[in-house]
Amino acid sequence: MPKTYDTIIIGAGIAGAAIAYTLTKQNQKVLVVDKNGIASGGSGAAGAFVSPKIGKGSALQTLTNEAFMYAKEFYLSTCAEYFHQTGVIRIPKDEMDAQKFSEYEKFNDTTYENYSKEKLQSFGIKADFDSFYFPDAGDCDAPQVCEYLLKDIEVQICNIEEIVYKDGMWNVLRQAQEPTINKVAESVEVKAKAKNIILATGYESNSADLRYMGIRGTWGTRGDFSSKLELNVSMHQSMSVGANVDGIIKLGATHEKMVKEPVECSDTQALSLQEKASDMIDTSDLKLVKTYCGMRAGSKDYFPSVGQVIDVPYMLETYPAIVRGAKPELEYIDNLYVLNGLGGRGFVFAPLMAKLLAEHILEDNDIDKRVNPDRLFLKWCRKL
């Protein structure tokens, strides 16, 4: 007989791990499914900075900084050993960028300090401009955070073949990887069912029609380098440089928009980050220890997508005038939800987005309009 759960989550990156942890804390029975394992994609390759966004007070900046405040407390209270609150310095890229920083300052709504270029240089940081220092920020050990959040939750490595809604329950047919005597792994069909399914699948979305959400992948590479360099603070300029934690400095991750499908990790790409980082720090003793890579999923408007999934085939068939601007009442797929499109700030957004989705599922709270994927549907229809 298939095992029954309250919720099955497809995807074991930071989005899936955060919502699984949050639901489990509310006494929900949860299963997490991922075809390659925990943090096997973009989350595992992330630089995983948890820091504010600077700018001129846009809606995205406001949301990001709300998420930052929530995320840092979340990590400190749940897995502090994997969140290094080193502080993060934001350094202007050039003279034009430095002028923008002076405009951004009045919109810095989180704790910060101004660091002069002389002060940065005294730390061994190469800088030609004054910068912002955010003392509450830091970075996560990305795979370890995901593994910690899922440590008491059932996780299965398997390919989902199909999800079918029947008699008020989602039935999941999948291919699971199980060890055997003669082989490391063998594919076996197994079944599970749950009241709810949450798609935290990243750039892949084969289980439902999510085209209207505009989820797209951006390839990223991160290099972990051994070093004896005394570097007690993290920084970001045109790339991210992590503080030296236990002899390791993390560089990246990159944003390679030209890579459309996953490829093998390249040490060459990681070593190029070392060369680029030499503009900020002394990289002479850095030695590449490991290269990570993966596809991170973002949306067209850079806001996450969190909430119910619209029944796209039903809407298009029932209301053909929707492509010409009609605005009928939206129809949703029963108990199917999404938590996706977190982009390069996945470790910032995930805890707060998980909270919002859990409150929607368990308490029927409205989803914040800024992240509700409904915002994208009618505009998408008009482009068909």
DSSP 167: T
According to CATH, where is 3.30.70 located in the chain?
A: 219-293
CATH code of the domain occupying 1-48+141-215+299-384: 3.50.50.60
According to CATH, where is 3.50.50.60 located in the chain?
A: 1-48+141-215+299-384
pLDDT of 258-271, one tens digit each?
888 888 999 999 99
Write down the pLDDT at residue 185.
47
Note the pTM of the prediction, 2 decimals.
Answer: 0.94
Alpha helices in the chain (DSSP H): 14-24, 42-45, 59-78, 95-104, 117-122, 142-149, 267-277, 312-318, 346-363, 374-382
**CATH level 3 topology of 219-293:** Alpha-Beta Plaits (3.30.70)
pLDDT of 267-304, one tens digit each?
999 999 999 999 999 999 999 999 999 999 999 899 99
* Phi-psi region at 325: left, alpha or beta (left = phi > 0; alpha = psi -120 to 50): left
Write down the pLDDT at residue 184.
45
Residues in the chain, pLDDT under 50: 180-188
DSSP 342: B
Write down the pLDDT at residue 300.
87
- Residue of 337, 336, 377 whose CA lies nearest to 357: 337
* Phi-psi region at 156: left, alpha or beta (left = phi > 0; alpha = psi -120 to 50): beta
- 3-class secondary structure per residue, 56-113: CCCHHHHHHHHHHHHHHHHHHHHCHHHEECCCEEECCCCHHHHHHHHHHHHHCCCCCE
Write down the pLDDT at residue 229.
97
Starting at the edge strand found earlier in the chain, the sheet holding 138-140 runs: 49-50, 138-140, 83-84
DSSP 299: -
